[in-house]
Amino acid sequence: MSEILKRIAVCVERGKVDARSFHPPEMEGQDGADELTGKALEKGISPNDILTKGLIAGMQRVGEKFRDNTIYLPDVLVSAKSMSVSMEHLSPFFNSGVIKHKGKIVMGTVAGDLHDIGKEIVAMFFEGGGWKIIDLGVDVSAEKFNQAIKEHKPFAVGLSALLTTTMISMESIAKEIKTEVPDVKVIVGGAPVTKDFADRIGADAYSSGPQGALDYLNMSCPGDYS
Ligand code: B12
C-alpha cells in the first residue's frame, strides 16, 4: 500500500490534524491529515483509496482502542477532527458520485432526551466507517424517525437514550419503526440501555459503544465501494 495512505491512517489514529498542530508531541512539525490528503490527491491517488485505506483504516484502529479502553474520549475527538479535515478534501468526490457511501443511517436521541454527546460520537464512527449519516438531533419522536426513514431509505436507524425515563420512549419508538418499516435495522445504545432491554423491545442490535455497532453494520451490510 502507498506510504502516504499509511501516513494518513496514522494521522487519524493519533489525531494529527495538520502540520501546525502540536498534538501528538512526537509528530510536531510533520504533515498532518490535512496536508497529506491534499498531497495524495495531487499524486493521483484515488479518493476512494484515500477514504478506505487511509481514513477508514485509521478510524477502525481508533474504534478498537476506544472499545478496549486503551484510549479515551479526548483522543477520539482529535481523531475525529483529523478525519473531518480530510473529509473536506474528499467531499467534492462524494458530491460528484466518484466515491460512494456504504449506505445511510438515520440517527437520533429519542423523545424527551436532550443528551447528544454519545450519539454524536457514534455517528462520527459510523461516518468514519464509510456510512452517510442523517442526524435528526435530540428529542426525536417516532413520527419524525419514520418520516426520515421513508424519505432517506437508510439501511439502519440508531436510537440513543441516556435517561431511564426515555428508555420508555425508545421502546415505543423502536416498535413503531418496526411496524411501519420492518426492513430497516434498529440499533440501540446509551448508558442505561442493555442487551436484554434491546432484545425485549425488538431491536436488531445493541452495543455499549460505537465499535460493536459498526462491526454489526459491516457484518450485515459489507457494502461495495467499487
Ligand atoms: C452531559 C450530561 C448532561 C448534559 C447533556 C449535554 C449534551 N449536549 O448531551 C445536560 C446538562 C443537558 C444534561 C441534562 C440532564 N441530565 Co444529564 N448527564 C450528562 C452526563 C454528565 C454525561 C453524559 C455524556 O455525555 N456522557 C459521555 C458520552 C460519550 O457517553 P454516552 O452518552 O453514554 O454515549 C456512549 C454510549 O452510551 C454509547 N451510545 C450512546 N448512544 C448510542 C446510540 C447507539 C445507536 C449506540 C450503538 C451506542 C450509543 O456510545 C457512546 C460512546 O461510547 C451524565 C452522567 C454520566 N457521567 O454519564 C448525566 C446523566 C445522563 N444525566 C442525568 C440526568 C438526570 C439529567 C437531567 C434530568 C438533569 C435535570 N434534573 O435536569 C437532565 C435531562 C435533560 C433531558 N431532558 O435530556 C442522569 C440520568 C439518570 C438516569 N439514569 O436516568 C445522569 C446519568 C447523571 C446522574 N448520575 O444522575 N445532562
Q: Tell whether ligand 1 has an atom less than 6 A from the beta carbon of residue 118.
A: yes
Most confident listed range (56-65, 85-94, 182-191) = 182-191
The more confident residue out of 39 and 91 is 39
**Cis omega before residue 24 (within 30°)?**
yes
Among all chains, which residue has been given the C-alpha cell 484515488?
Answer: 46
Residue 81 has pLDDT above 80, yes or no: yes
Q: Tell whether ligand 1 has an atom less than 6 A from the beta carbon of residue 89.
A: no
pTM tops 0.75: yes
Mean per-residue pLDDT, 182-192? 97
Minimum CA distance residue for ligand 1 atom 77 = 113
Alpha carbon of 117 to ligand 1 centroid (Å): 8
What's the pLDDT at 134?
97
Which of 162, 169, 170, 217, when mutated, tests ligand 1's pocket best, judged by the most ligand atoms within 8 Å of its CB?
Answer: 162
Minimum CA distance residue for ligand 1 atom 31 = 118
What's the pLDDT at 94?
80
Q: Tell whether ligand 1 has an atom less than 6 A from the beta carbon of residue 157.
A: no
Query: Rg of the chain's alpha carbons, rounded to an integer?
Result: 18
CATH code given to domain 104-220: 3.40.50.280
φ and ψ at residue 131, rounded to 5 degrees: -100, 150
Among all chains, which residue has been given the C-alpha cell 420512549?
Answer: 169
Q: In what order do the strands lie in the sheet with 185-189?
A: 132-135, 104-109, 156-160, 185-189, 205-206
Alpha carbon of 162 to ligand 1 centroid (Å): 5
Q: Which amino acid is at 133?
A: I
CATH code given to domain 3-96: 1.10.1240.10
Mean per-residue pLDDT, 113-137? 93
The more confident residue out of 19 and 128 is 19
Task: Spell out the domain ranges in the chain.
Answer: 3-96, 104-220
